[in-house]
Amino acid sequence: MVTYGCLAILFLFVLIKGVTLYFQGRKPVTREDSDRTLYTILNGERD
């Protein structure tokens, strides 16, 4: 029963994030952008 509660909360979180991204008009982060960000973090470089 607790698992279903956690899944429901996760589903609501994803739904809310999707709706906010839709209404803000932002495009989702591309794979290349996330790879570049992770590469920068792992190498210790700062903007």
* Predicted local distance difference test score (pLDDT) of residue 5: 95
**By residue range, what is the domain housing residue 16?**
2-43
- 28, 21 contact by CB (below 8 A): yes
* Predicted local distance difference test score (pLDDT) of residue 16: 94
| Angle, vertex CA 11, rays to CA 30 and CA 6, nearest 5 | 125
* Predicted local distance difference test score (pLDDT) of residue 47: 54
Total domains in the chain come to 1
* Predicted local distance difference test score (pLDDT) of residue 26: 66
* Predicted local distance difference test score (pLDDT) of residue 10: 96
pLDDT tens digits, one per residue of 1-46: 999 999 999 999 999 998 888 888 767 778 898 899 889 889 886 6
Core vs surface per residue 3-32: b (16+ CB within 10 A) or e: eeeeeeeeeeeeeeeeeeeeeeeeeeeeee
Q: Model's pTM, two decimal places?
A: 0.49
